[in-house]
Amino acid sequence: MNEDSLLECTERGLWAVADGMGGHEAGEVASAMVVEALAGLPITNNLEADTANAVSAMIRVNQELIVLARSDIHPRTIGSTVVGLIIRDGQYRCFWAGDSRAYRVRRGVIRQLTRDHSLVQDLVEAGMIAPDEAHNHPNANVITRAVGAAETLIVDTVGGEARPGDQFLLASDGLTRLVDDGEMRDELAEFEPSEAAGKLLDAVLVRGAPDNVSLIITKVV
């Protein structure tokens, strides 16, 4: 069961990846609701306004998912991570909740733009485990923030310049748990987006693909 959803609106300068959680007939509903809410946003051509609208949409979906989860005979959490990208006039903004990630590759250098909202990331930052222990930690799949996970949702944002030649990668953890930053950098630096995406997907499949994998690569021209 694929619980991921993608949004690709290149003509609007808007992209997103959502990774649903909650099991069959729940996770896929949550991620679809996230993507549908973003797809329905008005485009103001003002980067700050568009980012604020995206964050507000995620907060609205958060409440809708909580109501949906409580309406079930057996109440449960129905949620989704989200990572989104907006590009306007040489600037970008990323917004996210959860452990789906955004990266930027510029002149052969990769940079993770987002910070995982996860237990292992908290442990790393607290100095309780080393960064290279995070992937194999028994609680590696525990996230601390997601759309639909709690009454209050905080959506983080980050931004900066989007220069010609920059490539942005949005991905669910189905990619980032199996392919390291160096491998992602190499593929994006060597190949055009569509071919790089295929190479990264192949790498995940060869390694067993234990989770759904979704990714979007956007190149600034």
SS3 of residue 204 by DSSP? helix
Rounded CA separation 82/95 (Å): 8
Could you report the per-residue pLDDT of 98-149, keeping only the tens digit for each?
Answer: 999 999 999 999 999 999 998 888 888 888 887 777 777 777 678 899 999 9
Residue 194 pLDDT > 90, yes or no? Answer: yes
- What is the C-alpha radius of gyration for the chain, rounded to an integer number of angstroms? 17
Q: Check residue 37 and give its pLDDT.
A: 98
Residue 169: closest CA among 99, 110, 89: 110
Q: Check residue 47 and give its pLDDT.
A: 96
Q: Check residue 24 and give its pLDDT.
A: 57
- Spatial contact of 81 and 146, defined as CB atoms under 8 Å apart: yes
Could you report the per-residue pLDDT of 22-49, keeping only the tens digit for each?
Answer: 765 689 999 999 999 999 999 888 999 9
The chain-wide mean pLDDT, for the chain, equals 92
- Spatial contact of 162 and 220, defined as CB atoms under 8 Å apart: yes
Could you report the per-residue pLDDT of 59-107, keeping only the tens digit for each?
Answer: 999 999 999 988 877 777 899 999 999 999 999 999 999 999 999 999 9
Residue 174 pLDDT > 60, yes or no? Answer: yes
Q: Using the Cα atoms of residue 66, residue 47, residue 197 and residue 204 in order, give the sign of their dihedral.
A: negative
Question: Quick one: pLDDT band at residue 200, thresholds 50, 70, 90?
Answer: very high
Q: Check residue 25 and give its pLDDT.
A: 65
